Structure 1
Amino acid sequence: MHTIWKGAISFGLVNIPINLFAATENKDISFRSIHKECNSPIKYQKVCPVCEREVQNDEIIKGYEYEPGKFVVINNEELKEIAPESNRKIEIIDFVKLDEIDPIYFDKSYFLGPQENGNKSYLLLKQAMKDTGKIGLAKITIRSKESLAIVRVFDKGLLLETIYFPEEVRSIDQVPGLDSEIQLDEKELTMATQLIEQLTTSFEPEKYSNDYRTALMELIESKVTGEEFTVPKEAPKTNVVDLMAALQASIDQTKPLQNSETKITKQKKTLNVRKKKTV
């Protein structure tokens, strides 16, 4: 695993030398834009609409649009002056309970591994946080960007998760339609609760997969190998308008499903893609 950052965890006067590793990876399939006529990849050029010519990288500066069409220019020297100090430290400011932080704040995850001379202090911090049930709230600067982060116990090691600052999380008050007062029907609420209970299971991440990505890869492979690609027709869906009827139909449909594996198998049927070789 590639080390993307080296530094130290600090809390109080304790410093723990660590290495930072990406804990997740993007599995999205990307496409190139190509010319329909000859299948050549399209190049994107930076063109000034006023000068009507391509602009080179050394001619480009940074500007902030404070009003439509009006910019204030910011040069690199000014940015360097106010940039956060890259001190290579994950400075733990406070220790808090994990359930006090709503998941909406979570951003990216990184594994933290001890450097050669930091094993003992690393394990000490890990065990102390495990015993107290607390996580560390910290600040970290990666690639000149200052982030708020948490350090927590994960499996047999430590995990760092960058989190959004409060001003980066939008208020739910901006969402329209949430203040409308609707009287809920007790029978409908009971059935909705029953449906949730029937669909409740233990979270086993290995049972879930990206069905669209799998189908897309099969489509790509069939194109490369020259095989025929077919998608089975879906069964027609029943358009149930009445809420009570929809709840009852959902409950009846989920009754035979006794475990999450059966449920997920059923969900995948609509996206299941089969290939067959051309005869």
Structure 2
Amino acid sequence: MHTMWKGSISFGLVNIPIKLHAATENKDISLRTLHKECHSPIKYEKVCPVCEKEVGSEDIVRAFEYTKGKFVVIDDEELEELKKVNEERAVEIIDFVKMEEIDPIYFNKSYYMSPNEGGVKAYSLLRAALEQSKKVGLAKIIIRAKEQMAVIRVVENTLLMETIHYPDEVRSVADVPNVPAGENVTDKELDTAIMLIDQLTTEFDPGKYNDDYRTALLELIESKKEGRTITPKERDTPAAAKVTDLMAALQASIDRTKPEKPAAKKRVARKKTPAKRKEA
């Protein structure tokens, strides 16, 4: 597994040399843009709209636009110095909390952590302490020039770090439009909805979920490479009935998802055997 970051995690005076490995991967299929006439890849150039000429990477600087058309230019050296100063404190576990206290909306990206040279003992200690205390560590870390909050927890005997958003990066629910203020549902509707939920409840098995669109797109690509024509397969999900009444829709959903009863076994008629005569 590719190492994407090396450093150390510390809590108190305990220092753990570690490596980070991306725990997830993006499997989106990337499509190129071509010239329709000759199928050549389109080239995108960086052009200055004022000077009306192409600009090379050596002529580009970074800046913050603090008001329309007004910029503060920041040199790469200044960014590098700022990063160096903050890296010293970026990997310290600052608090321990219960996992259930963190809403899933904060979670961003996951990384597996493995011990680097000399870090096996401390790695094992932190892992055991987290498991025993049933807590997770809150840390700060700089990855790719950005300081991030992170949660460190144990997953299948391995330390996992999940970057999380800062509170000011999560938008307020008060800004969501058209959210009803109260529950304007009847007891019967609620009971029926809960019955439907119970009927559809199962144990989470990630292996049974697939990206159907990506699979179909890959099949289309392979067929066109081989000069074949395929028709996209229709999904097996039954068409939704046009039901305007909420209660009727709930009941129809329950009827559709109700597990089929096993077929009744046919009774096999047994031939009656004559009773044995009693011996005299």
AA partner of residue 171 (structure 2):
R
In structure 2, what is the equivalent of residue 55 of structure 1? 55
Please identify, of 176-185 and 124-133, the stretch whose mean Cα deviation from structure 2 is larger: 176-185
Which protein is bigger by CA-based radius of gyration?
Answer: 2
Per the TM alignment, residue 116 of structure 1 is displaced from its structure 2 partner at its CA by: 3.3
For the residues of structure 2 that align with 1:236 and 1:9, how far apart are their CA atoms?
52
1:68 and 1:257, CA in 2 relative to 1: closer, same or farther beyond 3 A?
farther
1:232 and 1:27, CA in 2 relative to 1: closer, same or farther beyond 3 A?
closer
In structure 1, what is the equivalent of residue 71 of structure 2? 71
Matched, 1:199 2:196: no
Aligned 8 A contact 1:9 1:91 in 2: yes
AA partner of residue 22 (structure 1):
A
For the residues of structure 2 that align with 1:68 and 1:237, how far apart are their CA atoms?
49
Question: What is the TM-score with the length of structure 1 in the denominator?
Answer: 0.87
Which string of whole-angstrom CA distances, capped at 9 and with x for unpartnered residues, describes residues 214-260 of structure 1?
Answer: 011101111111222112456654211111111011000110279xx
AA partner of residue 31 (structure 2):
F
In structure 1, what is the equivalent of residue 160 of structure 2? 159
Matched, 1:240 2:243: yes
AA partner of residue 44 (structure 1):
Y
For the residues of structure 1 that align with 2:80 and 2:5, how far apart are their CA atoms?
20
Which string of whole-angstrom CA distances, capped at 9 and with x for unpartnered residues, describes residues 99-129 of structure 1?
Answer: 0000111111000111232212211111111
1:123 and 1:257, CA in 2 relative to 1: closer, same or farther beyond 3 A?
farther
Question: What is the TM-score with the length of structure 2 in the denominator?
Answer: 0.86
Which string of whole-angstrom CA distances, capped at 9 and with x for unpartnered residues, describes residues 32-70 of structure 1?
Answer: 100000000000001111211111112212222223333
Please identify, of 138-147 and 24-33, the stretch whose mean Cα deviation from structure 2 is larger: 138-147
Q: Give secondary structure in 2 for the equivalent of 1:231.
A: coil
For the residues of structure 1 that align with 2:77 and 2:123, how far apart are their CA atoms?
38
For the residues of structure 1 that align with 2:113 and 2:249, how far apart are their CA atoms?
47
Aligned 8 A contact 1:86 1:144 in 2: no
Q: CA RMSD in A?
A: 1.9
The share of aligned pairs that are identical, in percent, is 59
Aligned 8 A contact 2:90 2:147 in 1: no
For the residues of structure 1 that align with 2:90 and 2:18, how far apart are their CA atoms?
9
Per the TM alignment, residue 94 of structure 1 is displaced from its structure 2 partner at its CA by: 0.9
For the residues of structure 1 that align with 2:221 and 2:260, how far apart are their CA atoms?
34
For the residues of structure 1 that align with 2:68 and 2:242, how far apart are their CA atoms?
46
1:233 and 1:202, CA in 2 relative to 1: closer, same or farther beyond 3 A?
closer
One of 253, 265, 276 as aligned partner of 1:250: 253
- The residue correspondences of 1:60-209 to structure 2 (distance < 5 A) are 60-83=60-83, 84-87=85-88, 90-181=91-182, 183-209=184-210
Task: Structure 2: state its 5+ residue gaps.
Answer: 262-280
Per the TM alignment, residue 132 of structure 1 is displaced from its structure 2 partner at its CA by: 0.8
For the residues of structure 2 that align with 1:88 and 1:220, how far apart are their CA atoms?
48
- Structure with the larger strand share: 1
1:98 and 1:257, CA in 2 relative to 1: closer, same or farther beyond 3 A?
farther
Per the TM alignment, residue 179 of structure 1 is displaced from its structure 2 partner at its CA by: 4.6
Aligned length: 258
Which string of whole-angstrom CA distances, capped at 9 and with x for unpartnered residues, describes residues 51-100 of structure 1?
Answer: 11111112212222223333333333443443352238621111110000
1:11 and 1:20, CA in 2 relative to 1: closer, same or farther beyond 3 A?
same
